Structure 1
Amino acid sequence: MQQNFGGRTPSPRSLLLSEVAQATQRLADAGVPSPRFDAEELAAFVHGVKRGELHRVEDADFDARYWEAVARREAREPLQHITGRAFFRYLELQVGPGVFVPRPETESVVGWAIDAVRAMDVVEPLIVDLCSGSGAIALAMAQEVPRSRVHAVELSEDALVWTRRNAEGSRVTVHHGDALTALPELDGQVDLVISNPPYIPLTEWEYVAPEARDHDPEMALFSGEDGLDVIRGIERTAHRLLRPGGLVVVEHADTQGGQVPWIFNEEAGWTDAADHPDLNNRPRFASARKATP
């Protein structure tokens, strides 16, 4: 489809806008949730600039690379797999097949946790990120909590490649291990345990967006019939790792609001268990404090 510019020679900027508009329509027709953003992000990727710098692009030659990228996104391949990058809070992370792509919803979880740790009277807070994946949570905590000591635990060898790649040169210590048996050497010492674990019920498989269902690793998505199997295991791990008064923060599905705090109950040694909303005011994560004897 060619746009009519009334006989005038279109400027490179006009051609760029025309191509992005066509790509936006194609992605919208394919059911992509954010077609304009994705079309612009793919254009920025092809031209080697940030999305906010597209107005500076003088080269209007959108070669086959752009339309190949658009076709991949049209087929519901994750945008981040095509560009190889994901943005999370103040971070730019490398991602690809084999690792869960961090979501914007998790940024509110991390923001709450950062504020909670900053409020602690601890000089060098000890933080553990379970089911770390790309390392997004661990790296954000290390970046935004000065003098923190952060450990990231990931079981999948495929995901661990990305965890280590993103953590290179940071203060995050990466461990290959199971979240349910992780870091016994830190028992009773940790100030904060945080996790974005798998929490989708197996019965919900067919309702999961194609970007996640067909491209994110199943290990990072599904967790038993009710989606809470791994969270139940994390409850036990967190209680083992945390010092008295330490906090656990766990992301969950908005449909699981009210269920997760019950896992962190008084009988299991917890206090102040509560759910918290995301930016859309939907229950998104739970927190609890290890009871003091």
Structure 2
Amino acid sequence: MVSSPHEAMHRIFQHDLELFGRLSCVLGLGVPTPVKATVLPTDLTETSPVERRVDTLLRFENPEHGPFLLAIEAQREKDPAKPASWAYYTAYLWTKYRLPTTLMVVCQDRATAEWAQQPVASGPPQLPTLTLRPLVVGPHNMPVITDPDEARADLALAALAAITHGADPCVGAILKALSTALQAVPEDVADPIIEFTAQGLAKCRAKHIWRKLVAVDLSFYKSYISEEIRDEGRVQGETRRAAEDILDVLEVRGMDVPETVRERIAACDDLETLRHWHRRAVIAPSADAIFTEDA
């Protein structure tokens, strides 16, 4: 199943067609900056019933070396079957378009990135007819952008860097720099960057940091993220009040409430469970008996 992080890691190159040219400079690839980029169909299906689709496919025009293709794959974990598929994509595109083809794999964790960048040969060691060497982008080679001015200079690159560093300890500073940079740009420019970042971090703990930054630093932003943040705030408020009501009942009844009971009540985020405990608190013989069925 295609996930939001998977989509964000490659669709951002469709959103900003010049991003690859700037990224190649950041990574020191030595690729001349393309003068034109075109989004191509991603369907690589043949007449056979096997369907094959590359995540994003771009055609670049380069005045020095001529046109070339860039196939972009988002990879979140190791998959032994992928190298063969990637080799197929590259060979098929080369055959179909008769253009040099580069495969770029975008990863969010270092282990997957190290696995993806290992060369894989289609033949035996003595006869490596086709060797796959993808260009890998991930936390091992993407810049750590914690300066809002640097982030503002290239918002798409800063968003991609934040996505690839989603699991890094310093991701909070990275996201803060990006949210600060987005405050000074028009909403129509900021909105897609906010969305890509949110989607790219959907499977990371950093998603909570980004959602809070969006709510505080980017209050103008109106989307499903804003709605989710408001809904979560409302639920959190209700659960907090429900927990306080339980403790009030126990204290009014003059019961001793151990710290372990207080912590368990405070840690519960299920409103229905809290309501259940509240009803038990009225008749329970002791504070901890609210958690048992025979209360």
TM-score bin (small chain): under 0.3
| Bigger fraction of residues in helix | 2
Bigger Cα Rg? 2
More strand by share: 1
TM-score (normalizing by structure 2): 0.27
**Alignment TM-score, normalising by the size of structure 1:** 0.27
